[in-house]
Structure 1
Amino acid sequence: MRQRHCTCVVVLAALTWLTSACGCQTAWAGPGGDQGTARGNGGATLRLLTYNIHHARGMDKKLDVERIARVIRQAKADLVALQEVDQRTRRTGGLDEPAELARLTGMHVSYGKAMDFDGGAYGIAVLSRWPVEQAQTHRLPGQAGQEPRVALETQVRAGREGPSVSFFCTHWDHQLSADRLRQARRLAELSELAKGDLVVLAGDFNDPPASESVKHLLKTFQDAGAKERPMLSCPADKPTIQIDHILYRSDRKVRAVEATVLDEAVASDHRPVLAVLEVAPKSAPAASPGPNPSNARADGQFDRVTGCEHFAFLRARMSEGLGGPARQAAKSWHVSMCTGPDGAAYVLDAENCQVYRVAEGTVRLLAGDGIRGWRDGPADRARFDFGVGSYQDAAIACDDQGRIYVGEGLPGRLRRIARDERGRWQVTTLSGGGDKMPKRGQSIPAREMKFGCASRFALDTDGSVYFATYGGVYRVADAQGSLVASTEELAPQIGKSIHDWHVGGSHIADGWFYWMPGGGPNLYRLDIHTGQAERFAGVGKIVQGLDGPTLKETGFHTVFIVYTPDAKAMFTGGGDEGVIRKIQDGRAAHLQKDGTFLAGGRKTGWRLCSPLCVDSQGRLYTETGIYAWGGWVVRVSFAPADTQGQRSKP
């Protein structure tokens, strides 16, 4: 297909793919083995090639796949991203170009179809020296009427001891700069899910280095050819533009050994671009992602509980609904979670309006039929409403009897999921859905209350529930709702108007109700018996990237607040910072491991609205990703010495 110019991207990332990916199209696996340039000890020298092959039709108008294969062989490439690749089209005589290139080069191949074309398919392909562990095709955004664009992601490992590599190939729009920027942003989002050793973006971006789309990627990536600019590659006979790029990012030390445009002016209308990257062994330390004061550490051991790195579905019918292996189950986006007294974890999927139960390595659908709405009754037929898009607001908690409570923020309802006398899971509405709120000294039926953005509820040990919402802090107990403290009463005490605020997080312990109005930067607490409130932690401004030695010197921007069972430590997390902090003995610390920040920033992918919960053993649970399609639920265990001490006092 002839175009003005076109784009292909290569992304290398170290992820261990755990299940089949939707949209994966693997055409043929060649005979290539585990040879290559891997050095051992986790290091490797990788030769990366991006090449728009123009369906193997050269500048001389001849169709010659062997000529393209010869260019690849001579480049001695380990990983190759190809664009404008035909599969069994009439214009190429029905030739399966991906399979033929794999045969001629002795490499493994994956193919990603962008669209049906000329009796066959038209798209992109990846050739790999090493076996392909997994492949997935991602659709990219674009205006209606434009040529469909995709990104092909393949997972390989560079030799037995080399880094794992996730390789993305893409072809961006050749007409609209606005579409290219959208496609760059989507690719950046996809690359954020890569948590491994190396991420490389390489290809024909249809945009020069100074374009908004490329500059967007360069915010987090290095340009392998930055020292060699301009690297002109199109048109092949007399190159005048640089639209083929190779970018990289890694937590390891990576050196761009070589970047060059190969001297091939005939085989295609683009010249191939080669980059050689030297990746250090895993033991080599990378640069610190941010300030790391020795007095602000909270070390922990991390392990994955459930989740995969891409979108999948639960396929197996289990005793309590659809289910399957926990590490092969993908969540949707905007989740919350909790743990029960039996050690099970419960994950709330706000996008799909469902609740899952994770236990003994298996995840099962517990409640919700996947249709947005409001319906009580048998759990598998119940319906939930957590809002739409960015207005979703949801929370989940479990009491010591194993009953699950779900908060719907915008409808303002509190629902309970519990077993009936016959052991069947049932959903019941406890409060909300009405049109009134109680005043001081007044009690009204809880189901007549009208909450707003009230999902961040807190369960007390006596079975009562506390909400911080518009109008003040409210209590629901025995099907009745009452006012604990109004906004008018609280504002003078905490020095902040809370008439219109979205509650970032809340928790209750030892007669204190903790909450964070508007997501921060201060954490407040309210004596539920006296109605007196005070600032518990924070400085009135958000402190980015650096924790203070005391609570009063630390700024917060958080969405979730949880306590350990012994009330000796508190965790806050979520928010725009994406930082999880541990509060203990009057001090606040970033959650770290071996002196490295593990919560917040690209290193873990923990982002806005990553929920928190703590189980009966004091282990912290959180999820990875900012509205990630896929993602992990991660458990953090702490050494006994790490939680010694007394509960901090103001």
Structure 2
Amino acid sequence: MTLRILTWNVQWFRGMDGRVDVARVLRHALQWGKAPHVIGLQEVAQHYPGLDGAGEADQVAQVRALLPGYEVVYAPALDEWRPGRPMRQRFGNLIATRLPLLQVQHRALPYPPDPAVPSMPRVLAGVTVQAPWGPLRVGTTHLAYYSAHQRLAQAQALVAWQREAAAVAAAPPVAGDEPPDTPFQLRPHAAEAVLMGDFNATPDDAAYGALVGACGGEAPAFWDGWALLHGAGTQPPTFRVHEAGATPVTCDYMLVTSGLRPRLRQVRLDSATPWSDHQPLLMELDDADAV
């Protein structure tokens, strides 16, 4: 079995033609990605009429309705109810999986002050799924756009997330005397992870370096899947590819932990689709029998 994982910043499902169409984006993701086992989406909105074309739509509900057979979990970076607004407003990241879902483990990312630029909170949508070879953590995120200070802090928190999870997997909690079906029940702990999304960091950005670089004598927390297969610095742009007059930027990545490197078979980029201001990426991992 080949495990397929897709990431896409969908810009609240707004294409370069200005049309917001959840069905169109998901249809393309399923076709181009060959029905991915896991889909990570960034910039999914609920009830934000100020977003061009979004209206009062609940895009999470629409995704659930359009992806039968997938379990859909949502991690809003923003979750607010403003006076006079009839509905709660949420904006964040989403994971849909057709693998068995074992745990949901979202994490708020650091939001240090940077008053010189616009900003908003950021979040990691995290799950543990049952891959063919065992439990696997999958995270999708969307880091700060304007603030390099916030973006670096968020990248460092993602490194800490991986190192902490790997340490717990290496030394899991004891069973204790607690009965089953309580919060202290034993659960799977996955040392390996796929981290994907819109990092708003070019390959020369400090945040990207924090994610994939060695630090303090420790091996890198993550490896860039594209660079492993195609060479460092060779990934084509993923942002503003179809925006007239703009300079295309590489800032969306699919990262893996060290133990997944032997399983990595392919990372593909769809540079053609105009259904968002970002381009989707697809990763393929082989199962245990193929390693």
Which among 52, 71, 85 is matched to residue 44 of structure 2?
A: 85
Q: How much does 1:210 deviate?
A: 2.2
Equivalence for 2:23:
66
The alpha-carbon distance between structure 1 residues 156 and 255, as it changes in their structure 2 partners (threshold 3 A), is closer
Q: How much does 1:71 deviate?
A: 1.6
Higher RCO structure (Cα 8 Å, ≥6 apart): 2
1:162 and 2:125 correspond: no
- For residues 231-246 of structure 1, the aligned pairs below 5 Å read 231-237=236-242, 240-246=248-254
Query: CA-to-partner distance for each residue in 1:590-645, whole Å, 9 max, x for gaps?
Result: xxxxxxxxxxxxxxxxxxxxxxxxxxxxxxxxxxxxxxxxxxxxxxxxxxxxxxxx
Q: How much does 1:100 deviate?
A: 1.7
Equivalence for 1:216:
210
Query: CA-to-partner distance for each residue in 1:299-325, whole Å, 9 max, x for gaps?
Result: xxxxxxxxxxxxxxxxxxxxxxxxxxx
Query: CA-to-partner distance for each residue in 1:325-361, whole Å, 9 max, x for gaps?
Result: xxxxxxxxxxxxxxxxxxxxxxxxxxxxxxxxxxxxx
Going by fraction, where is strand more abundant, 1 or 2?
1
CA contact (8 A) 1:256 1:276 kept: yes
Equivalence for 2:185:
none
The alpha-carbon distance between structure 1 residues 86 and 264, as it changes in their structure 2 partners (threshold 3 A), is farther
CA contact (8 A) 1:253 1:280 kept: no
CA contact (8 A) 1:109 1:132 kept: no
| Secondary structure at 1:181 match in 2 | helix
Query: CA-to-partner distance for each residue in 1:57-104, whole Å, 9 max, x for gaps?
Result: 111111101111112211121111111101233353433212322322
Q: How much does 1:256 deviate?
A: 2.5
| Secondary structure at 1:225 match in 2 | helix
Which among 196, 202, 207 is matched to residue 196 of structure 2?
A: 202
Query: CA-to-partner distance for each residue in 1:112-163, whole Å, 9 max, x for gaps?
Result: 11113684211111111223222132111123362111111112112xx432
- For residues 250-649 of structure 1, the aligned pairs below 5 Å read 250-251=258-259, 254-281=262-289
Count of residue pairs the alignment pairs up: 238
> What is the rounded CA distance, in whole Å, between the counterparts of 1:281 and 1:210 in structure 2?
37
Query: CA-to-partner distance for each residue in 1:568-594, whole Å, 9 max, x for gaps?
Result: xxxxxxxxxxxxxxxxxxxxxxxxxxx
| Secondary structure at 2:106 match in 1 | strand
Which among 170, 179, 183 is matched to residue 150 of structure 2?
A: 179
CA RMSD of aligned residues (A): 2.3
Equivalence for 1:122:
91
> What is the rounded CA distance, in whole Å, between the counterparts of 2:279 and 2:10 in structure 1?
9
The alpha-carbon distance between structure 1 residues 252 and 275, as it changes in their structure 2 partners (threshold 3 A), is closer
Q: How much does 1:197 deviate?
A: 5.4
Q: How much does 1:266 deviate?
A: 1.9
The alpha-carbon distance between structure 1 residues 250 and 163, as it changes in their structure 2 partners (threshold 3 A), is farther
Which among 223, 230, 239 is matched to residue 235 of structure 2?
A: 230
Runs of 4+ deviating beyond 6 Å: none
Which among 97, 112, 115 is matched to residue 59 of structure 2?
A: 97
- For residues 111-150 of structure 1, the aligned pairs below 5 Å read 111-116=74-79, 119=87, 120-144=89-113, 146-150=119-123
| Secondary structure at 2:101 match in 1 | coil
> What is the rounded CA distance, in whole Å, between the counterparts of 1:136 and 1:197 in structure 2?
14
CA contact (8 A) 1:86 1:96 kept: yes
Counterpart residue type for residue 237 of structure 1? H
Query: CA-to-partner distance for each residue in 1:273-316, whole Å, 9 max, x for gaps?
Result: 1121224359x7xxxxxxxxxxxxxxxxxxxxxxxxxxxxxxxx
The normalised TM-score by structure 2 is 0.75
CA contact (8 A) 1:225 1:231 kept: no
Identity of aligned residues (%): 30
Of structures 1 and 2, the larger Rg is shown by 1
Equivalence for 1:479:
none
Greater shift in the superposed pair: 168-177 or 97-106? 97-106
Q: How much does 1:167 deviate?
A: 1.3
The alpha-carbon distance between structure 1 residues 276 and 94, as it changes in their structure 2 partners (threshold 3 A), is same
> What is the rounded CA distance, in whole Å, between the counterparts of 1:79 and 1:207 in structure 2?
23
> What is the rounded CA distance, in whole Å, between the counterparts of 1:263 and 1:97 in structure 2?
24
| Secondary structure at 1:251 match in 2 | helix
